[in-house]
Amino acid sequence: MSATLAVQDLVAGYEPGLPIVRSVTLEARAGETFALLGPNGSGKSTLVRAIVGLVAVESGRVLLGGEDITGRPAHRLARAGVGYVPQTDNVFTRLTVEEHLALAAAAVERRQRYARIAALYDLFPDLAAWRRLAAGRLSGGQRQMLALARALVPAPRLLLLDEPSAGLAPVLVDAVLARLRSARALGVTIVLVEQNTRAALAVADRGCVLVEGRPRLVGTAAELAGNAEVARLYLGAR
Amino acid sequence: MIGDVFAYLVFFAVIAGTYALACLGLNLQWGTTGLFNVGVAGFVAVGAYTSAILTSPPSPDRLGGLAWPIVAGWVGAAVAAGVAALAVGAVTLRLRHDYLAIATFGIAVTIQLLAMNLVPLTGGPFGIHGVPRPFTGVVASPLGRNVAYVALVGALVAAVYAALERLVASPWGRVLRGIREDEAAAAALGKSAAMFRLQAFVLGAMAMGLAGAVYAHFIGFVAPEDFLSILTFQVWTMLVVGGSGNNRGAIAGAFAVWALWSASGAALTAVLPQELQARSAALQTVLIGVVLAAVLLVRPRGLLGEATVVSRHARPK
Amino acid sequence: MIGLQDLANGVMLGATIGLGAVGLTLTYSILGFANFAHGELITGGAYAALTLLWLLTAAAGWGLGQWGALSFGGPFVVLLVVAMGLTAALALGLERALFRPLRRRGTMIGLVIASFGASLALRSLVAFAWGPEPHYFTREISMAREVLPGVRVTADQLFVLALTAALMVGLHRLLTRTTLGRAMRAMSENPALLAVTGIEPAAVARWTCVIGGSLAAVAGVLIGLTVQVRPLLGFDLLLPLFAAVILGGVGSVYGALAGSLIVGLAEALAVPLIGAEYRAAVAFLVLIAVLVLRPAGLTGARP
C-alpha cells in the first residue's frame, strides 16, 4: 500500500518568520524511492520534520495519496501510515527491543499486531536475538536497525528517513540499504535524506537537491548522478 | 482622615521600596545572570535578623543585642546576606536551573527553620523586638519620622538602582548577560564563568539582605513568619510583572504588585465578614497567584521587560 | 541512643514519603519540570477524604468503620478511592489550565514559578476554607504492638506499608507490561519520538497526571490518618520529596523508593540527635549532598 507524497510551496521553520524551508515543491511518486540531497543546513531535515508534523508549517501543503495532511499532529500521521526515522535520538535507550516494537504495534489493529511484529523479526533477524536488550546497550548500527524496524511495524505507506547511514561503517550502510530495498519491494514510498549522496543515488529512483531551503535540481537518480554540479559538489571530483 | 490616608501612603511607600530593593537584587541574579533563586525570603531574613541582632538593645534570654548604630546594622545585614549567598552559591550555582531552584528553596526553608528554633540567637517564634527606628530623637513626630524614612528608602532604592545600572552596563555586566544567554560560551569561559555568577549572586543577595534590614527597622521587630515563601513569591511576581531583565521593571513591578496586594487587602477587609478577616491573607495570595499566572500566559515580558529573557536552551521538551 | 524503633520509624516515614516521591518522579520526568505544587496534591487528597467523611457523616451517619486492630474499616477505603479521583482531577485541572498553556508559550522556569505560585495559592485556599487548625479522621487510636523486640508499630502503620508495597507492585506492572507504561517511560526520554511512533504525548501526560495525583492522594490520606490533616501537610513534605526523587535519580520509580527510604531513615535516625524541630533540615542536607556529589542520583546516567 503506497501513496504519492506531494509537497506544494511548503514554507516551514522553527521560529515563525524565520523559515528554513522556503517554498519547496516536490513529489515522491507512489512506490518510488526519492532522495533528498543537499549541503548541511539546506533544510532537508527540517523539510522532513515539517512533513511529519514535528515542525510548524507556515504555508503550503502536504498531500499523501491525494489527502491533505498539512500540519496534522505527528502521532496522527504515524497512525495514518507515515513512518519516520530521525537521524539522532531515534530509539528509547531505556526500552528493550521488544518494547519498541510493542509500542509501535499499538498503532496497529489488535489482530494484526502479532503478525506485524513477527514479520519485522523476519526482516531483521538480529533484532530477534537482542529482543530483551535495552536499546541503550546496542551499538550504533544495531540501534539504526531498531529505529528502522520500529518505523516499519505499522506497514507505513510512506517512510521518511533522515540520514540512516550517518556514522555507520560501510558494511552496516549496505545492510541498511538492503532493508530499504526490501521495504521498497513492498511498495513503500521512501523519502531518503542523505549526505552520503553516492549511497542514496544507488538506491533511489528520483531525487532532488535542496540548497538554502529551495529545490535546485530535480531528476532521476541517473540524471543527478551524471550531473556535473552534483558530481563536483557531492560525489568528489573525479 | 487626610492624615490617615497620608500615613497609609507613607507606609505603602516604605514597604514598596523595601520590596523594590529585594526585587532589584533578584533582577541581578535572575534577569541579568539567569540564576533561578527560589529562596529570596531566606536572604531577606538573614539581613533582617542580622541587623536586628546587631542593633537591638541587650536582652537577657538572647545572644546579640549589641546595640550598634543602625548604619552598622544595615551594613552588617548586607554583608551577612552576602556571606550566606557565598556559602550557598559556591556549592549550588553550577547546578541546572531546576536543581538550583530546589536547592535555594531548601535554603530558605532551612533558614526559616533556624529562625524559628535557634531561640538564643533569633528569639524563636517570638522573634526580636525593640529594633531601633532611625530618626528617633532627631525628628519629633511619628509622622515626620515616617516621612523621613520614606525619603531614606527612596534614596536607597535610587542609589542601588544607579549602582546596578552602571554595573550591568559595564564590561562585567556584559559578560554576565553573555553567560546567561549561551551556556556554551559559559563553558568556554570555564572557571571564570563560575566566578562571575557567584559575584552576581552575592551582590543580589546583599540587596535582599539590605531590604530585610530596612523592613525590620521600619516595623520595629522581626519574626519568622515575616519571611515565608509568600515573600519569595511576591518578589518573583513583582519581577515578572515589572519585567525581568530590567531594573526599572523591578521597581515598577514592586510598586504595582504591592499596590495590588494592598488594594485587595483593603477590599477584602471591607467585604469579608468578621470571622473570616484573619484568613483574608489567604485570598490575597490566591489573587496574586492568579495575576502571576495571567502575566506568564499573556505577557511574559511584563510591563517593561525585554522581549527575550531566557536562553532557548531552557525550553521544556 | 539509636535503636531498632528508630529504624522502624524511618522505614515507616520512608513508605509515606515514597508514595509522594514516586508520583513526583513520574511527573518530573514525564512532564518535564519540577512541580512545586505536588505537595498540595498530597494535602488536597487528605482534605478531600476528610471533607467527604464529614459530609457523609452529617448526611448518612457514616463512621470510618473498624476492621480489627485498624482504626478504620471499609468506608475509609471508599473515601480513599474517591479522594484519589478528586485529586487526579485537580492534577489534570492544573495541567490543563496552567502548565500546558505555559509549556507552549514559555520556558521550564516559567513552569516551575507557576507551580510555586499554584502551590502557594492552593495552600492558602485550604487554610482559608478549612482553617489553619489540624483535623483528624478518627478519634480511634490504633494500638501499638510489639512486632520485634524493641520495635512497636501500630496496625495502621502496617497497613501503610502493605498498601505502599501493593501500589508499587501495581505500578511496576503498569510500567513494564502495558502500552501506557511503556509510553510513559518512552515519553520521559523523548516525547517527539513517541509521537512519531503513533502515540499522543498529551494523552500520556494526562494519564501521568492522573497517576501522580492518585498516588499523592493516597499519601495524603494515609498521613492524615496516621498523623493529622493540616494545610501544610504536603508543603512540609516538599523538601524530603525532592531530596528523595533527586537522590534516586529523576524518573526512576525504584530510585524514588530507595531515596525515600534513605531520607526517611536519615530523618528518623537524626531526630534523637538533633531534635525533632530540625528534621526538615535533614532532608535538606541529603539534598545538598546529592546535588554536590552525584546530581544524577543513584540510578541516573546523566546529571
pLDDT at B250: 93
CB contact, 8 Å: A86 with chain C? yes
Q: Is C196's CB within 8 Å of A86's CB?
A: yes
CA atoms C77, C82, C83, C87: torsion sign: positive
User: Does C288 contact B92 at a Cβ distance shorter than 8 Å?
Assistant: yes
Q: Give a yes or no: residue C286 inside a domain.
A: no
* Res B315: pLDDT: 45
Long-range contacts of B116-119 (CB under 8 A, 24+ apart): B116/B224, B116/C277, B117/C275, B117/C277, B117/C278, B119/B61, B119/B62
What average pLDDT does range C116-127 have in this prediction? 90
Q: Which chain A residue has the Cα nearest residue C176?
A: A99
C-alpha distances in Å from residue B98, one per residue of B39, B251, C246: 13, 26, 11
Query: How confident is the prediction for chain B on average, in pLDDT?
Result: 86
Please judge whether A74 and C183 are an interchain contact, meaning their C-beta atoms are less than 8 angstroms apart.
no
Rounded mean pLDDT of C90-104? 91
- The verdict on a CB contact (< 8 Å) between A53 and C195 is yes
Phi, psi of B222, deg, nearest 5: -125, 145
Looking at residue B144, what is its pLDDT? 79
Residue C301 has a pLDDT of 57
Residue at C9 is within a domain: yes
Higher-confidence position of B181 and B243: B243
The pLDDT of residue B308 is above 70: no
Q: Please state, in angstroms and rounded to a whole number, the distance separating the CA atoms of residues C189 and A103.
A: 14
> Of C245, C225, C235, C260, which Cα lies nearest the Cα of C43?
C235
Q: Is residue C164 part of a domain?
A: yes
**Cβ separation of B315 and C277 shorter than 8 Å?**
no
Q: C113 — contact with chain A (CB < 8 Å)?
A: no
The rounded Cα A45 to chain-centroid distance in angstroms is 10
Which pLDDT score is estimated for B182? 73
The three-state secondary structure class of B309 is coil
C294 found inside a domain: no
Band (pLDDT 50/70/90 cuts) for residue C302 is: very low
- Does the beta carbon of A56 lie under 8 angstroms from any beta carbon of chain C? no
Chains with ≥3 Cβ pairs under 8 A against A?
C
pLDDT band at C5 (very low <50, low <70, confident <90, very high): confident
User: What confidence tens digit (pLDDT) does each residue in B29-43 have?
Assistant: 998 888 999 999 999
Query: Which residues of C are less than 8 Å from A52 in CB distance?
Result: 196
Residue range(s) defining the domain that contains residue A173? 5-235
Chain B CB within 8 Å of residue C300 CB: no
Report the gap between the CA of B317 and the closest CA in chain C (Å).
Answer: 7
For the segment C54-64, what is each residue's pLDDT rounded down to a tens digit? 998 888 877 77
Neighbours of chain B (3+ CB pairs under 8 A): C
Mean pLDDT of the B119-136 span: 84
Q: How confident is the model at residue C238 (pLDDT cuts 50, 70, 90)?
A: very high
Question: Do the Cβ atoms of B137 and B145 come closer than 8 Å?
Answer: no
Q: Which three cell numbers stand for residue B262?
A: 494592598
Query: C287 and B282 in contact by Cβ < 8 A?
Result: no
Number of independent structural domains in chain A: 1
**Residue pointed to by grid coordinates 524530603:** C240
Strand pairing class (A67-68; A57-64): antiparallel
> Does the pLDDT value for residue C46 go beyond 50?
yes
Question: Is C295 close to B38, i.e. CB distance below 8 A?
Answer: no
The shortest C-alpha distance from B108 to chain C (Å) reads 10
Closest partner residue to C182 among A86, A95, A107, by Cβ? A95
Rounded distance, CA C199 to CA C180, Å?
9
Residue C203 falls inside a structural domain: yes
Q: Quick check: C111 and B316 CB within 8 A?
A: yes
Distance CA C285, CA B91 (A): 12
pLDDT averaged over consecutive 10-residue blocks of chain A (238 residues)? 86 88 91 89 91 93 92 94 93 95 93 92 89 91 91 93 83 80 82 86 89 88 83 59
Supply C186's cell numbers.
Answer: 518512552
Question: Distance between CA atoms of A68 and A8, rounded to whole angstroms?
Answer: 11
CA distance C146 to chain B (A): 34
Can you tell me which residue has the cell 502571576? B292
Region B183-193: what's the mean pLDDT?
Answer: 71
Q: Residue B184: give the domain boundaries.
A: 2-226
**Cβ–Cβ gap C114/B38 under 8 Å:** no
In this prediction, residue A177 carries a pLDDT of 80
Residue burial C47-58, b: 16+ Cβ < 10 Å; e: rest: bbbbbbbeebee
Out of A91, A99, A154, the one facing C198 most closely (by C-beta) is A154
- Domain of A68, CATH number, reads 3.40.50.300
Query: How far is the CA of B193 from the CAs of B36, B99, B172, C109, in angstroms?
Result: 16, 18, 11, 21
Q: What are the contacts of C133-137 at 24+ separation with CB within 8 A?
A: C133/C230, C134/C228, C134/C229, C134/C230, C135/C50, C135/C224, C135/C228, C135/C229, C135/C230, C136/C224, C136/C228, C136/C229, C137/C49, C137/C50, C137/C53, C137/C64, C137/C71, C137/C72, C137/C76, C137/C224, C137/C225, C137/C229
Distance (Å, whole) CA B87 – CA B85: 5
pLDDT over 80 (residue C141): no
C contacts of A154 (beta carbons < 8 Å): 198
CA angle A109, C194, C97 (to 5 degrees): 105
Whether residue C118 lies inside any domain: the answer is yes
What's the domain range around C86? 4-240
Best B26, B99, B107 member to test C by mutation, with max C CBs in 10 Å, is: B99
Mean pLDDT score of chain C, rounded to an integer? 90
DSSP state of A164: T
Percent of chain C predicted with pLDDT > 70? 98
Residue B306: its pLDDT value, please? 64
The tally of domains found in chain B comes to 1
Rounded to a whole number, what is the distance in Å from the CA of C73 to chain A's nearest CA?
Answer: 41
How confident is the model over C20-37, as a mean pLDDT?
A: 95
Give the model's pLDDT for residue A234: 65
Q: What is the mean pLDDT of residues B119-126?
A: 84
Instruction: Tell me whether residues B283 and C278 touch, CB distance under 8 A.
Output: no
Residue among B218, B226, B216, B173 nearest B197 (CA):
B173
Torsions phi, psi of C189, nearest 5? -100, -45
Nearest Cα neighbor of B7 from B158, B149, B155 is: B149
For residue B295, being part of any structural domain is answered with no
Q: What is the ipTM of this complex?
A: 0.93
Closest partner residue to B297 (CB to CB) among C101, C131, C292 is C101
pLDDT at B70 > cutoff 50: yes
Residue with grid cell 540524471, as numbered in its chain: A223
Residue B248: inside a domain = no
Q: Hey, how many other C-beta atoms are within 10 angstroms of the C-beta on A68?
A: 12
CA distance C201 to chain A (A): 8
C107–B285 CB contact, under 8 Å: no
* Model confidence at C198: pLDDT above 60: yes
Does C101 reach chain B within 8 Å, measured CB to CB? yes
Q: Which of C108, C277, C293 to mutate to test the interface with B (most CBs of B within 10 A)?
A: C108
Q: Measure CA B171 to chain center.
A: 26
d(CA B78, CA B163) in angstroms, rounded, equals 15
In a domain, C121, yes or no: yes
Cα separation, C164 vs C222, in Å, equals 10
B314 and C108 within 8 Å at the Cβ level: the answer is: yes
Rg (CA), chain A: 17
Domain count, chain C: 1
C-alpha cell at B158: 535610587
Predicted structure pTM score: 0.90
Q: With contacts defined as CB-CB under 8 Å, which chain C residues touch B300?
A: 105-106, 110
- The answer to whether the CB atoms of A150 and C197 lie below 8 A apart is yes
Optimal mutation site among C115, C120, C187, interface B, most CBs of chain B within 10 A: C120
